[in-house]
Structures are given as structure tokens and as C-alpha cells.
Structure 1
Amino acid sequence: MLSSVANIFGGQNLPRLLQGFLVTLEVAAVVLVIGGILGILLGVLRTLHITWLNVVLQLYLEIFRIVPTVVLLFVAYYILPQSFGINLSGFGVAVLVFTLWTGAEMSDIVRGALESVPQHQRESGIAIGLTTTQLYRYVLVPQSVPMMLPGVINLATRIIKTTSLLLLINVMDLVNVGQTLVEAEGHKYPDAGFWIYGAMFILYYILCAPLSHWAKHMERREMEIANG
């Protein structure tokens, strides 16, 4: 069995699998940063209670919640080049779609956290003459950050797991490389799928498990603070 495993992961197979893992990490990191910034801006805008703007942003959120991500990937990957002449690489399509999706989800997390700040804190800031910008900077945002963290961490976990869809648009991420190796080695080693998918499971677990435990810890901490 050990010799079989050594052969399956020998040569360039293991480096290729790790390279796919790095692609997964790269996509997730870029999307989380850009989508996070977008979501923060949109979340703040949603708390300004501008009617027309709230309608537009709510529609944006609902589109990315209702339409499956795989459909959005296919639209961006196939329809944009054919209908609008916009040619993006698979990586570019992934960043575009996942960033817009992350921005939508993040905006709801930010809005909820900002609106959870006690009303008397907002009123106190207005009473001492703070401008809207100062109110958000010195009062609302600092108090809402701890409430955002569990949702943001959970969103990061979802982003990492959703990158598995990149297989469908020919991005050589962890899943795509793993599937390629299974097809290449499966005819020589019947247990190749078990070991390769097992390695993929371990790599995803290494990424997601700490984030999941951190999110649960933050949620318990917030409940303890809320309960005094």
C-alpha cells in the first residue's frame, strides 16, 4: 500500500496538487480582500436609509443570493465573450463573480452589525456634534466590528469551499488538478481516487477547520458579552 501511495504522489503529482492548492488560496484571498472592501462600502451605504439606493442594493443582494453561483460563472465565462466581446481568463472570471457575490454577502453582514449598535450610541454621537463620517468612524464601526467577525469568518470558509466550482471553467485549482490526477493514475492504481481525494479533503480541512472553530469561538464570546 505504501508503495502504491508513493507512486501515486510521486514525480510531479504532489507538486501539481500543491500548486492547485495555491491557486485555490490565491483566488480565495483576492476575492476576500476585494469583495470585503466592496461589501463594507455597500453595507455602510445600506444604513444611510436612502430609499432608491436601498432598493438597488437590495436587488443586487437578492440576485447573488437567488441565482446559483455556477450559473453566474457560466454567464461570465461564456456569454460575456460571445455577446459583449469581453474576454477574461478563467481566473479573471472567478475573481469577478466571486467578488460580486462576496460583496453582496458582506454588505448584509456589515449592515446587520452596524444596525445592531444600540440606538443611544448613535444619538449620543449626534448630540455631541459628530458628522456622519465621524459617527461611523468613531462610534458605529468600532462597536460593530466584533459583531461582524463571526459572519466574516464564516463567509471566508464559504468562499474557500465554493472555489471547488472553478473546475467548471477550467481553472487549475485543487479540485481540477486532483480530478486530473485521478483520471491519469486511476487505470494504474485502483485506489488512486481514495488517496488523492483524501489528500484534497485534508488540504481543505487544514484551511477551513481553523476558521470554523474561530467563528464558533467568536460567536460564544459575543453571547457571553451580551449576557453579561
Structure 2
Amino acid sequence: MDFGLVRDNLPFLLQGAWITVEVTALSLLFGILLGTLVTLARMSPLRWLSALTLGYIELLRGTPLLVQIFLIFFGLPQLIQQQINEFAAGVLAFSINSSAYVAEILRSGIQSIPKGQREAALSLGLSPSQTLRYVILPQAFTRVIPPLVNEGISLLKNSSLLSAIAVVELTRAGQLVASRTFKPFEMYLAVSLLYLGMTLLLSWVSRGLERRWNIPH
């Protein structure tokens, strides 16, 4: 095994790892923002709106992520008559997909808040929107940090699918080096270890936040 080859190509692999981190961070951020809106719509008293968002969630959770990536990258340009950058298409597909999972995570967090807190806030003169903004959502977000971190880990690992549309993230970087050097074992082993390091770091951050904020399980 030629691990000197790994050392020589480590800067290129780290560049790919950085792209992986960027895709993961941006997708999780936009997924949380969009997922919050989906959650509020899902819990709306308007039945048609709740049913519409339920269909949105089930559609995204029930279809393969790779198909969604292809639909955004190859299909969307036909609708808007404009090409989409590979990186932007990947972030868009991941953000939309993540929003469905975040919506269910956040909904469970909101439902875990005791109803008495909502009633107390309303009795103190807060409007329903103020109660949701200042009382319910902050507590819900705190409680769902562990599953949100798990969603981030899933996004990080699933980012390897972007190699199918030529985004040079970590997996694609490993593929390019392996095809050039004919050393797939060393390259994919190095790629696996880099993924492992990033996921362990996210898990460590999650446990630290849980201890700091005494997040219940």
C-alpha cells in the first residue's frame, strides 16, 4: 500500500473536504430556515395548508435524494431556461430535502413544550405570534439540537452523491485521484477516514451542546 501517495494528494482531498463542509453547512442552514416555515404551515389551523405541507414532506422523504439532485440540476434549467451551477444545484437540492426532515424534527420539538407555557404566555398578554416567537420556538430549537446535528451528519455523508453531477467534494476528489493513480484502496480509505473525522467532530459538538444546555433526551 502506497500511503505516500495519500500524503502527496492530501491537500487536494482536503480541498474536497472543505467543499463537503460548505455544502453541509449551507444546506443545513437553509434547510432549517425553510423547515421552520414548513413546520409553521404544517401546524396551521388551515386544513388545506397543513395538507399541502404534509404532501411536500412526504414527497421529499419518500423519493431518493439522488433523483431530487438530478431533478434540480438537469430538470430545473429546462423550466427556467438557464443553467445552474453544480454547487448551487447541490445546495438547493440538499436544502429542500433537509427542510422536510427539519420540519418534522422541529414539529416534534414544539409539541414537546408543555401547553401550560403557551397558556401562561397568553395570559400575560402576549399574542399567539409573540408566544410562538419568544417562548415556544427558542425552547423547541434547544431541544432539537441533537436530531438537527444528526441531520447535519446525514447531509455530510450524503454529500458524496454530488459527485454524480461533478461537484468536486471529498468523494469526487478521491475518485479523480484514484482514476489518475490507479490506487483506489488507498484513496478511498483516506476519504473514509476524513468523513469519519468530520462526523466524529460533529458528534462531539452535539454532546458538548447537550451538556452545556442540559438538553433532555
Which residue does the alignment assign to 1:175?
A: 171
CA RMSD of aligned residues (A): 2.1
- Paired with 1:176 and 1:130, the residues of 2 have a C-alpha distance of 52
Structure 2 residue ranges without an equivalent (≥5): none
Deviates more, 1:169-178 or 1:69-78: 69-78
- TM-score, reference length from structure 2: 0.90
2:127 match: 131
Q: TM-score, normalised by structure 1?
A: 0.86
Structure 1: runs of 5 or more not aligned = 187-191, 224-228
Which secondary structure does the structure 1 equivalent of 2:144 belong to? Answer: helix
1:102 and 2:67 correspond: no
Aligned equivalent of 1:151: 147
Q: In the alignment, what sits opposite 1:222?
A: 216
Partner of 2:190: 199
**Contact (CA 8 Å) 1:47, 1:114: kept in 2 or not?**
no
> Partners of 2:215 and 2:52 in 1: how far apart?
35
Q: Deviations over 1:75-132 (max 9, x none)?
A: 1222223454231011111011111111111111111111111111111222222101
- Displacement after TM superposition at 1:210 (Å): 2.9
Identity among equivalent positions (%) equals: 31
Q: Any idea what the Cα deviations from partners look like across 1:151-172, whole Å, max 9, x if unmatched?
A: 1111010110110001111111
1:66 to 62, 66, 69: 62
CA deviation vs aligned residue, 1:14-53 (integer Å, no higher than 9, x gap): 2221111111111111111112111122223323332111
**8 A Cα contact 1:39 1:104, kept in partner:** yes
CA–CA separation in structure 1 for the residues paired with 2:153 and 2:27: 12
Runs of 4+ in 1 over 6 A off after TM superposition: none
* Equivalent residue pairs, number: 214
Distance 2:86 2:169 in 1: 11
Deviations 1:44-70 (A, max 9, x none): 332333211111111111111011010
1:189 equivalent in structure 2: none
Pair 1:87 & 2:80 matched = no
Q: CA 1:128 to 1:93, structure 2 compared with 1: closer, same or farther past 3 Å?
A: same
